[in-house]
Structure 1
Amino acid sequence: MPKICILSTVNLIHMTLISLYTDFLEINNIEYDIIHIDKYGQFEDNNANRIYPYRIVIDSNWTKLKKLRKYYGFKKYAINLILNNKYEYIVVWNSYTAILFSSFLSKKYKQKFVLNIRDYSLEKFLPVYLIMKKVIKNSFFTTVSSNGFKRFLPRHNYIFVNSMNASLLKNIEKRNEKRDDFKPIRISFIGYVRFYENDIKLINLLGNDARFVIQYFGQGSDKLQKYCEENGIKNVNFHGRFDKSQTLNFLEQTDIINNLYGSGKIELDTAISIKFYYSISYQIPILVDSNTYMEDLIKKYDVGLSIDWNIDNLSDCIFDWYRNLNYQKYIENCEMLCKKIEEENLEFQDQFKTFLVTDD
């Protein structure tokens, strides 16, 4: 039985779709440990054999050097654990983890680790680019959660993995019709709320418009709630931080998924949000920003609406688009895309299986 650990510089709650790996391990009765940074100090549900959270507290007012010292403390802690526990294979979660452990991984675990790239991590800066190039080269394979990332990553034969959460879909009840015409359309953001400028634009656009209910479910939504209270905006609902098991409940209260993060920044323009997968799995249409990779996807498969903030009567455009949506055709597009995703993720499963049985 191979000894495996998952290494991460973020909390479990932010390890989006770690289940792509852990489900495979659990189905095949392979135990695994998790070594990760813990910024919250709270228990996080998991099925790991052993879990090693490294508690750190970061003050946003600290200097970059002081913050880095905290992360290097984790690096020393994790390397000692890895060597003492004699892990054979490592799953490296995100680019920041790869950068922090780059020399260790390349020297001690060459071709014995796999890397999962979830986001842009300053690769446009040459020193970071060169570090990532070396780590990627020394990995057994590297996965990307968006083919849009190829715009900033070194050339490589990446494996594209779709962030489809199979466990979340087990008891799914898919939407099969639009909301009744006489009821307001519920537009929901579900997740960590942090792009306040874009959120406020939507609130100002649709605030107190009886045709809509705007909803923000997730950590950080309290700032938007305060804004709405101060400005007398009534048609907005809020819920703070939640356990991922509550996601389905929030989706059931949603007619359109809000995936409006903004555009014009490489990290926003190239990513595929997990909300895209919620949308096509539950058959709930999605709003995305124009001039992004997400816009390319929803236009290619006709499963959402891209938002150009510069057009007039935008609120009418959103309302008319939803009310005139051919829902049966939309459902067919979602089903076709979900089938395609299942086929694409088989390559990842095959490669991961090969990785775990590779001998020296």
Structure 2
Amino acid sequence: MMTINFIMNSISDAHINKRISEFIQKGYDVKLYGFERNNKNTYKKDISVIGTFSNTLPYFKRVTIYYKGIRKLFKKNTVNSGIWYYQGLDVALFATLFNKNKKYIYEECDLVHTNVHNAILRSILEWLDKRIIANSLKTVITSEGFVEYHYGNKKYKKDNIVIIPNKLSPEIINFPHEANKNFNNNCIRFAFIGGIRYKSLLSIADAITRKFSNHEFHFYGFISPVISEEELPKNSNIFYHGSFKSPNDLSEIYSNVDVVVSTYDTSSPNVKYAEPNKLYESIYFRCPILVSRNTYLEKKVLRLGIGYSVDPYNEEDIINTVKLIEEDYLNKKKALELIKQTDVLDENNVNKILK
């Protein structure tokens, strides 16, 4: 088996560690290099740390660390065999600069350059991003929406792009789940399941629980440091359950949820075009989903008929949407039942990448 040389923009990132595990399970030899973000090395295999910085360090200050770390790696490295695997544009920019004429796979999980405020610099980075895609052996993109962002409605000519959404770990089947059958439209249990870091979620939770005292809003997950205690809505029908373990706790959580909320802040193009795994949790657990308007996710949810969209900052829109859910909920449940649960499991990705 050939060697796959990974360069990770965060050695503690769960997504890339899952991808590495997939290659190992298929029998590939892997060599791991990456940047430590002031976290412990959560992966068991040996990793060569090539740079360290805090998660709070602004992107423009990380550039020097990426540059020095990747330059030093390829100056020392004598590996000529195998394929390189670059996680993210921040890594790929410098890896392709210092590792010329080497075969590589590029994985884009986020449109990181869309957060750059300078329009000219953002355009340059978009051009470089598409160039890295074009020159790759394969580019793994985690959302069809990202392809839409890069190429619009035009059909992209490159056959080296493979779309692998962030579906559910097959481990989920080890935790039996019984779908919630006792829907009560007089007491709907809305829930956000994940890290709480978007103010749009606080906005919709506050509006729903103020305007509908009979309904509930539940938060499952840690509260990001970017959210202060004062910003958290404290209505009597809002509940904060704290952190949970995935996938172990998901079955129990979803058995107590009627509508999973995925109304991320659309001010960022990255969020606007992303395809979060909440979509796949919604399908697997037969739980209708509520998403933000004017997003790629909205298009997919409405096309499948499995949920609703709303402007999380528009109180009137929120009220009208909740009333619609009260009346229409069972139709969305029926649409969810038509989708095979096995369709949303994350399987055979290595074969898709290396075929």
Give TM class, smaller chain. 0.7 to 0.9
Equivalent of 2:337, from 308, 324, 332?
332
What is residue 317 of structure 1 aligned with on the other side?
Answer: 321
Contact kept in structure 2, 1:221 and 1:238, CA below 8 Å: no
Q: For 2:27 and 2:244, how far apart are their aligned partners in 1?
A: 30
What is residue 259 of structure 1 aligned with on the other side?
Answer: 262
Deviation at 1:296, TM superposition (A): 0.6
What TM-score do you get using the length of structure 1 for normalisation? 0.79
Q: For 1:242 and 1:39, how far apart are their aligned partners in 2?
A: 22
What is residue 134 of structure 2 aligned with on the other side?
Answer: 137
What is residue 352 of structure 1 aligned with on the other side?
Answer: 353
What is residue 167 of structure 1 aligned with on the other side?
Answer: 170
Equivalent of 1:227, from 222, 228, 231?
231
- More deviation in 214-223 or 294-303? 214-223
Contact kept in structure 1, 2:12 and 2:41, CA below 8 Å: no
Deviation at 1:320, TM superposition (A): 4.7
Contact kept in structure 2, 1:181 and 1:323, CA below 8 Å: no
Cα deviation per residue 1:226-262 (whole Å; 9 max; x = unaligned)?
A: 434xx64233333555554555254444332221113
Contact kept in structure 1, 2:11 and 2:43, CA below 8 Å: no
Contact kept in structure 1, 2:310 and 2:317, CA below 8 Å: no
Tell me the amino acid that sits aligned with residue 113 of structure 2: L
Structure 2: state its 5+ residue gaps: none
SS of the aligned residue for 2:279 comes to: helix
SS of the aligned residue for 1:296 comes to: helix
Deviation at 1:159, TM superposition (A): 1.3
What is residue 94 of structure 1 aligned with on the other side?
Answer: 88
**Matched-pair identity in %:** 16
Deviation at 1:141, TM superposition (A): 0.9
Equivalent of 1:71, from 66, 69, 81?
66
Deviation at 1:80, TM superposition (A): 5.0
Contact kept in structure 1, 2:38 and 2:54, CA below 8 Å: no
**Gap change, CA 1:193 and 1:134, over 3 Å in 2:** same
- More deviation in 325-334 or 277-286? 325-334
SS of the aligned residue for 2:329 comes to: coil
What is residue 3 of structure 1 aligned with on the other side?
Answer: 3
Equivalent of 1:301, from 300, 304, 308?
304
Contact kept in structure 1, 2:207 and 2:315, CA below 8 Å: no
Q: For 2:147 and 2:326, how far apart are their aligned partners in 1?
A: 33
The answer to whether structure 1 residue 210 and structure 2 residue 209 are counterparts is: no
Contact kept in structure 1, 2:85 and 2:106, CA below 8 Å: yes
Contact kept in structure 2, 1:92 and 1:114, CA below 8 Å: yes
- Superposition map of 1:168-183 within 5 A: 168-181=171-184
Contact kept in structure 2, 1:186 and 1:254, CA below 8 Å: yes
**Gap change, CA 1:168 and 1:126, over 3 Å in 2:** same
**Gap change, CA 1:78 and 1:206, over 3 Å in 2:** farther
Contact kept in structure 1, 2:180 and 2:258, CA below 8 Å: no
- More deviation in 274-283 or 295-304? 274-283
**Gap change, CA 1:166 and 1:63, over 3 Å in 2:** closer
Deviation at 1:44, TM superposition (A): 1.1
Tell me the amino acid that sits aligned with residue 128 of structure 1: L
What TM-score do you get using the length of structure 2 for normalisation? 0.80
**Gap change, CA 1:102 and 1:194, over 3 Å in 2:** farther
**Gap change, CA 1:319 and 1:65, over 3 Å in 2:** closer
Structure 1: state its 5+ residue gaps: 355-360
Deviation at 1:220, TM superposition (A): 0.7
**Gap change, CA 1:322 and 1:334, over 3 Å in 2:** farther
**Aligned residue pairs, count:** 338
Deviation at 1:55, TM superposition (A): 5.4
Give the superposed CA RMSD. 3.3
What is residue 357 of structure 1 aligned with on the other side?
Answer: none
Q: For 2:54 and 2:73, how far apart are their aligned partners in 1?
A: 18
Q: For 1:205 and 1:43, how far apart are their aligned partners in 2?
A: 40
